């Protein structure tokens, strides 16, 4: 597996990481624990050195990652995230990045991940009630204490990124980015490049849409986040098939799968971008990792971007309430 460095941080990871969220959160029923451990461990065995989890995905998610990667300690980079009240019922998500709370929940993550220090610690969402300088300062103290190695933000806006970076250099910014969601190209990517901050796109496959497995007949259970995402209504799934058709056409010409082309496209944008697709299936894991071997030529990338620019994506990526929390 090829390696990439996340900006100027010196943090080197596999070109494609693994996002563990879907193992227990967001995409339907939780995966059997032993199967979940097996898929994470398989990723490590196949050369993945960058793994992503979060406190809000549930204690079991961090525990799965910690148990699966115990044999690879020192060889892999584990990222997790703070910023939400934990232990609330009914999937409530209340922001909390108060310094004392960050310190409290950090201890739980260290224990569940079975590590002495968290390799990359993101604020999951910007907390409007806590100045980002206080958040960065708290993580800076945790780094001094040896409990954290690198600092990151998730779904933050450029002004917050600059303010945080001024207190404690950011290793990475995590946000959604794919052929289906290119807004980061406007302000975010130029800012990260200027500051020397790595970019970690989640949902690089458009929450599965770019694999070509969904059409207007697709249905999603109540425990699947996509059931409330405007982009996944029947009419929008149908309207966006034009994008899938384009990806399938390119894939056929490269003897690749649509998922591999979608990931190769993300990788081709900048050398400091590391996508973190998630999957519960070994075959999909192998398919995703194969994307690192696919090279889109300058001409192919130009033609693909030209075609993408003519496609208008139907449907927002978040319902209104959740959209209010991003880009702050």
- Domain range annotation of the chain: 3-323
Cβ-proximal residues to 318 (8 Å cutoff; 6+ apart), any chain: 229, 230, 326
Residues of the chain short of pLDDT 50, as ranges, are: none
pLDDT tens column, 206-255:
999 999 988 999 989 888 889 989 999 999 999 999 999 999 999 999 99
| Res 248: pLDDT | 96
Tokens 């998922």, residue?
A: 259
Which CA distances in Å does 77 have to 6, 26, 44, 266?
Answer: 12, 23, 10, 21
Cβ-proximal residues to 117 (8 Å cutoff; 6+ apart), any chain: 110, 146, 147, 148, 149
Considering the candidates 18, 27, 57, 121, report the single residue annotated as catalytic. 57
| Res 27: pLDDT | 83
| Res 151: pLDDT | 98
Active site residue 27: no
Question: What single DSSP character describes residue 31?
Answer: P
Q: Taking the CA atoms of the chain, what radius of gyration do you get in angstroms?
A: 19
Structure tokens that stand for 264 in this block: 């190769």
Contact by Cβ (8 Å): 47, 1: yes
Within 10 angstroms of residue 271's Cβ, the number of other Cβ atoms is 11
Contact by Cβ (8 Å): 148, 118: yes
* CA 228/CA 239 separation, integer angstroms: 17
Tokens 């130029």, residue?
A: 190
Mapped onto helix, strand or coil, the DSSP state of residue 69 is: helix
Cβ-proximal residues to 136 (8 Å cutoff; 6+ apart), any chain: 151, 163, 164, 167, 168
Within 10 angstroms of residue 190's Cβ, the number of other Cβ atoms is 12
Tokens 């990788």, residue?
A: 267
Cβ-proximal residues to 175 (8 Å cutoff; 6+ apart), any chain: 154, 155, 156, 184, 188, 199, 200, 201, 202, 326
Structure tokens that stand for 8 in this block: 């100027």
User: DSSP strand E in 58-117: where?
Assistant: 77-82
pTM equals 0.96
* Burial (Cβ within 10 Å: 0-12, 13-18, ≥19) of residue 23: buried
* CA 149/CA 129 separation, integer angstroms: 25
pLDDT tens column, 274-307:
999 999 999 999 999 999 999 999 999 999 999 9
Q: Which fold has domain 3-323?
A: TIM Barrel (3.20.20)
The dihedral built from the CA positions of residue 206, 211, 217 and 223, taken in this order, carries a sign that is negative
């Amino acid at each position: 597996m090829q390696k990439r460095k996340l900006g100027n941080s010196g943090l080197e990871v596999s070109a494609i990481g693994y996002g563990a969220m879907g193992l227990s959160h967001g995409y339907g029923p939780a995966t059997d624990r032993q199967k979940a451990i097996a898929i994470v461990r398989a990723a490590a065995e196949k050369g993945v050195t960058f793994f992503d989890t979060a406190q809000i995905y549930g204690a079991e998610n961090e525990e799965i990652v910690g148990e699966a990667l115990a044999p690879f300690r020192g060889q892999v980079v584990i990222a997790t995230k703070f910023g939400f009240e934990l232990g609330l019922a009914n999937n409530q998500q209340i922001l909390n990045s108060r310094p004392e709370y960050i310190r409290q929940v950090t201890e739980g993550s260290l224990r569940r991940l079975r590590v002495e220090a968290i390799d990359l610690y993101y604020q999951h969402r910007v907390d409007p009630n806590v100045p980002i300088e206080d958040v960065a300062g708290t993580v800076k103290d945790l780094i001094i204490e040896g409990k954290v190695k690198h600092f990151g933000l998730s779904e933050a806006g450029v002004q917050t990124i600059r303010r945080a970076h001024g207190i404690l250099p950011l290793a990475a910014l995590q946000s959604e980015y794919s052929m289906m969601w290119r807004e980061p190209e406007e302000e975010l990517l130029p800012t990260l490049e200027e500051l020397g901050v790595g970019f970690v796109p989640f949902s690089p496959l458009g929450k599965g849409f770019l694999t070509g497995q969904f059409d207007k007949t697709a249905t999603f259970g109540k425990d699947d986040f996509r059931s409330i995402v405007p982009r996944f209504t029947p009419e929008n799934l149908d309207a966006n098939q034009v994008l899938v058709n384009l990806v399938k056409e390119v894939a056929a010409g490269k003897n690749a799968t649509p998922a591999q082309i979608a990931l190769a496209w993300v990788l081709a944008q900048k050398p400091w971008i590391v996508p973190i697709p998630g999957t519960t299936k070994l075959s999909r894991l192998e398919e995703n990792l194969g994307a690192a071997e696919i090279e889109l030529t300058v001409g192919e990338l130009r033609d693909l971007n030209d075609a993408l620019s003519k496609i208008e994506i139907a449907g927002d990526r978040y319902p209104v309430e959740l959209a209010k929390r991003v880009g702050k």
